[in-house]
Chain A
């Protein structure tokens, strides 16, 4: 009994890191220095000392360099975009600015003075506030109570409520301090989070992908609020990959690509096209040349798949239609968080639409079929998350192999598991796909990321599925394993199967895909032949720019 109570408490703590942080802030009872000495008006940035100036930031994780000599500066009252793909190093950079991690080398100046930021608490005292993408509020408490938890102690709730009301009116934020958080929309909750930062009088506000959870109307409202902050002298660092938003809101943009600052530009003088090019870069083999076999039969057909937002931070799917043909690799490119997880769940059958006639395999309606039925019909799935989704970390490799083959017969007869057959099947996969094992039948958690990924891809390909659906097949995997997995998928397609690959790695997409569609904000573009397609065109679609959108997207 005591065990599970422990575990539940631990789980709650782990799920709500920001709450824990809010708690600690409240507990530490430190006074913030009120650096509200704001200069009126916004002068031309170039003649001022930058508010914040980072030079030569380097951050390494093992062999991986997340930030390589990144320099950046922002002025008072400036709205500055930080633009880049997943893994470009945006999060790493702002975490260093916010004191969540320390750079391996590099220097930071705040109002012209060299500083070292020891932690988020220190950053807040200096006047840096941050709104996280996936913020977390206590649902059962009121707005004012949530804000009070994050502020230094000493302010009465009623005094705080008055301040919230005043500030809310001043900036047009529209937050009612007495409302309970569970009654608010995500957009409103985000404004509570912004308010929480604002009450500490920040000079610099960092916003991590703030519009990913907002409706277009809410986005417009947010931009109005941000412009008012900027008018009052607050600098805003706006992290985004949405090109049109960056052009609409910001005055300058710094573009990161694979940890390197590829340039800081005035957004007034740039087009979405130019930003997209900077974001995705000029790759070797920029123009793809994979030609799909002509007229492969349509294996998978999806028409008008829509799905409401499953959780508050999720992306709804909006009338997704696509076809996958025999012999091809169809890539679904896009930046993470644009509906990939939601689409993958719908493809696997973990989530199923209520309507008929949406998903067809070889003309057969499988809209209502669960994962096991879809597997029996000849589909293999590899979800993005290895631990806890594709595999059970605390179970052996043999049992993990059974996870996706229990409905196919073989190791299970009359409901009884044949232990030898189960082990043999897993061992065969390990041999065929070069999975290196520490012992004969190890726990999945004992394997390295690359080895486990080879296993979860291999166990599907070993069944020679007619259709393989994979999400981020080489995410977090070393180069050798990645090449192995890609060539295995190409081989499968060459044998006449279809492969649908959801990937945010554009280089990978151009390397092996025959046709490419782009997922942006829950919309899927029409699939385009990879032959002759440029990275720039795909980059524009990934950034949701109107310039890249076809007539029917």
Chain B
């Protein structure tokens, strides 16, 4: 029987070395796979890790790609710290986009100073309400939030599909499932850096994403509500003893993560797409789960983890274009990278122990006194 035993004290050196070793192993395994398939391994790794960030404008695009991941993961950190498993950020993102789209399309004449805040609030509300469904079902009927939130993702996808094909379709779209383009006031503008100009597609939403990560860090590490979340996740009985309510924490963390995912949906549409369409997310809600774990549930580390994952995405595109590498191979490589990082994380937190069945049985049943 193989057991994972939590380490009591994790040496700092191990924590620092873990991701380095993981990335080194990824490079080695990746090189072997590329060579086996007949690609020049050095060239392939260059396309993955260097080419996507070799020009300043590409660095801007990297941040743009990471932006929704960072926003969503900043919210998911709260859920996962509290041992609440929100797997439905993708659906909450869609509802955020729909709610903010309602504001943008219904009140196109609003001035910019009113439009943006209203759209942000609407997107938060949309994501939050969608997350309240699993939250209330869990607190009232003890349903499994993993299943409910995941299944609601598909409902959300069908909902936006119906909206853009039906009630909100632009009559001038020649039958395409698209809404009207947003007015300028409803769009997020690019950042013009003094002396440099535009940096790729870098937009103000990225600044918002970084602020959200920092804000999440402050709430989680410096505020009493963050303390509640951590206590509930680490020892629910101690949380009740402290006077915290498990239901309140469940509702709160699902609300926070839902609102964050909603904002990500709004930013994605207003900065990159400019109108609603059936597909507005490339699985950001799911990829953000990986980002959250890669960041070890630390909101500040979410920024770095979001950039790493975004790099893997862009690197995959770049390898496909430059080397004609099939999409499945780039997908495999991304998978290896994430697998190594998460496995490293597991080895960091647990040590493995192999025990004989007989002694295990004795130990388990001998536990009660």
Chain A positions near chain B (C-beta within 8 angstroms): 1-4, 6, 10, 14, 17-18, 20-21, 24, 27, 91, 95, 100-101, 119-120, 132-134, 348-350, 370-373, 375, 381, 383, 385, 388-395, 399, 402-404, 406-407, 412, 415-417, 419, 445-446
Contact = CB atoms under 8 A, between A and B. Distances in A.
A174 to B, nearest CB: 27
B342 interface: yes
Given A389-B238, A417-B223, A419-B222, A10 B4 contact: yes
22 contacts: A1-B293, A3-B345, A4-B80, A4-B83, A100-B362, A100-B365, A101-B362, A132-B365, A383-B241, A388-B237, A388-B238, A389-B235, A389-B241, A392-B231, A393-B235, A395-B231, A402-B227, A404-B241, A404-B242, A406-B242, A407-B243, A417-B222
Contacts of A4: 80, 83, 85
Interface in B315-369: 342, 345-346, 349, 357-358, 360-362, 364-369
Given A91-B369, A392-B238, A403-B238, A119 B243 contact: no
Nearest to B357: A24
B238 A391 contact: yes
B234 interface: yes
Interface residues of B, number: 41
B360 to A, nearest CB: 7
B10 to A, nearest CB: 11
A142 B263 CA distance: 50
Contacts, number: 119
A395 B345 contact: no
Closest 7 CB pairs of A and B: A372-B243, A17-B364, A371-B243, A392-B235, A388-B235, A403-B242, A350-B240
Contact of B243 (A6, A24, A370, A390): A370
A21 B238 CA distance: 30
B235 A415 contact: no
| Best-surrounded residue of A375, A392, A406, A415 (most CB of chain B within 10 A) | A392
Nearest to A98: B365
A10 B62 CA distance: 38
A33 B345 CA distance: 49
B249 to A, nearest CB: 14
A95 B366 contact: yes
A372 B242 contact: yes
Contacts of A417: 222-224, 227
Given A6-B4, A100-B366, A388-B235, A371 B224 contact: no
B140 interface: no
Contact of A1 (B8, B235, B289): B289
Nearest to B242: A403
Contacts of A132: 365, 368
A445 B10 CA distance: 13
A416 B237 contact: no
B230 interface: yes
A381 B367 CA distance: 27
B346 A119 contact: no
Contact of A2 (B8, B230, B243, B342): B342
Interface in B83-125: 83, 85
| Best-surrounded residue of A120, A134, A381 (most CB of chain B within 10 A) | A120
Nearest to A17: B364
A350 B241 contact: yes
Nearest to B228: A406
A395 B230 contact: yes
B238 A390 contact: yes
Nearest to B339: A2
B201 to A, nearest CB: 30
